[in-house]
Amino acid sequence: MAYRNKIALVYLLGYALDLVNMFAAAIAYPDISQQLQASVSQLGWVANAYMLGLTLVIIPGVWLAAVFGEKRLIMASLLLFSLASWCVAQAGSIEALIGWRLLQGLGGGLLIPVGQAMVYRHFPVRERARLTSVILLVALLVPALSPALGGRVVEAWSWRWVFYANLPLALLALLLAGCWLKSEPRPASRPVLNAHSLATGARNMGRLLKSPLLRVAMLTYLFIPGIFIGTQLVSILYLHQQGLSPAQTGTLMLPWALASALGITLSRYQFNHLGPKPLLLLGMTAQATGIALLIQADVSSTWQTMALYGLMGFGGSLCSSTAQNTAFIDVSARHMGHASALWNINRQLSFLLGPALMMGIFAALTVITSTPRAFALCFAIGAALTLLPLFAVLRLNTPRVLALLAP
């Protein structure tokens, strides 16, 4: 096997672990709530702590890789992730579980940016499209399959085994990283991480926000995926209350993945012809409609609920893929590094703030109104938040974008 393919396999294993801990873990929330006597807001922090850990290590991760080497850092992060996964599964209280989830996020957060940098550096530009398609395939299959499998694990054993299941995959990635990855030569001068270097990096990233295309893309990505993940967490509690089992709830991610593939395909083939504006408008409308109609879903009719998840999957993925295509259109190669870091920070903030906001809104609503009405209001607010980037998208200059896309 070629060395670049070995690097890609290690990275994809780490990426799959990250996705499993975002989607499969959510299926265990009702059982965690019952066994550990956790409130709705505490359940929200089970996800938020993991996302916070992922976000906190993005900037220092680049410095750590330069100081200790990418191979050592990836192996250390996999070891830390494995240890934290074991501790999460052993947690005896909701407070301990949240703390171990933060540590799990810190370990997993080093895998994505460092592994991504290694992979793209070893693949020629002309072959990166094929690599990206494989990454997107993993991004579809894992969220589709892991909730359904996680639901069956919860039903057969307990929520703890959802986290124990991380260990074989993490240890396999650790073994392959140790055997396959080559130690990179250390830089002649040790990079410095201090207030001045951080301020310089922040200023460089801030200047990039002058680009209207990057601003709109980041705003879209900040709201669309984050609000969907937050709504999904609330909907898991709603569907559990309606009598659906964890396995049945997890299965709803299958139509989500199929519809997501359709949204990504539409963006891929129509982006250069239509520009981002019509695709983003269609995607936002589809996701907002799916969220708004969740409260009307008849859980006895599986097809109806699956259709709503499919609608959310199509709209969310159409927006996400279109936003990512839009972000770097007018960013020069010289600024691509800072733009990529800014984009990944925004991505993690979306995954962190969206669930925190939606679970917080639901928790607050349950205090002031009945639970059924709290679900209805929460879904309505989620649909409205999905449409917040609408005004910025409407201001996009389509002829200018198409001119930039012209060969």
Higher pLDDT, 142 or 405: 142
Percent of the chain with pLDDT over 90: 9
1-186 under CATH 1.20.1250.20, yes or no: yes
Percent of the chain with pLDDT over 70: 83
pLDDT-derived band of residue 236, with 50, 70 and 90 as boundaries? Answer: confident
Which of 42, 103, 56 minimizes the C-alpha distance to 77?
103
Cα within 13 Å of Cα(135), Cβ side: 20
pLDDT-derived band of residue 285, with 50, 70 and 90 as boundaries? Answer: very high
Task: Give the DSSP H/E element, type plus range, for residue 188.
Answer: none
Residues 6+ apart with CB under 8 A from 330: 211, 213, 214, 404
Mean predicted confidence (pLDDT) in 258-275: 83
CB 378 within 8 A of CB 287: no
Mean predicted confidence (pLDDT) in 227-253: 78
pLDDT of 330 reads: 72
Task: Give the DSSP H/E element, type plus range, for residue 335.
Answer: none
Which of 19, 214, 201, 15 minimizes the C-alpha distance to 118?
15
| Beta strand ranges found along 158-293 (DSSP E) | none
Give the best-scoring range by mean pLDDT among 135-144, 151-160, 190-199, 361-370: 361-370
CA dist 221 and 242 (Å) reads 31
Convert the pLDDT of each residue in 5-44 to its tens digit. Answer: 888 888 888 888 887 877 777 777 778 888 888 777 777 7
Higher pLDDT, 75 or 298: 75
How is the chain split into domains, by residue range? 1-186, 208-407
Mean predicted confidence (pLDDT) in 187-197: 58
> Worst-scoring range by mean pLDDT, 70-84, 119-133, 189-203, 259-273?
189-203
CA dist 374 and 356 (Å) reads 16
pLDDT of 206 reads: 59
Percentages (nearest 5) of helix, strand, coil residues in the chain = 85, 0, 15
The one-letter amino acid code at 111 reads L
CA dist 339 and 103 (Å) reads 27
189 CB-contact burial (10 Å; exposed 0-12 / middle 13-18 / buried 19+): exposed
Assess whether the region 1-186 and the region 208-407 belong to the same CATH fold: yes
> Worst-scoring range by mean pLDDT, 71-80, 208-217, 313-322?
208-217
CA dist 168 and 155 (Å) reads 20
Convert the pLDDT of each residue in 107-162 to its tens digit. Answer: 887 777 777 777 767 766 456 546 666 776 777 777 767 776 777 787 778 888 88
For 208-407, which CATH superfamily applies? Answer: MFS general substrate transporter like domains (1.20.1250.20)
Q: Enter the tokens of residue 176.
A: 């392959």
Buried b (16+ CB within 10 A) or exposed e, 283-306: bbbbbbebbbbbbebeeeeeeebb
pLDDT of 196 reads: 56
CB 109 within 8 A of CB 61: yes
**For the chain, how far is it from start to end, CA to CA, in angstroms?**
35
Placement of tokens 């680049």 in the chain: 62
Judged against a pLDDT cut of 80, whether residue 72 lies above it is answered with yes
Mean predicted confidence (pLDDT) in 242-259: 75
Buried b (16+ CB within 10 A) or exposed e, 89-119: bebeebeebbbbbbbbbbbbbbbbbbbbbbb
Assessment of whether the complete model's pTM goes beyond 0.75: no
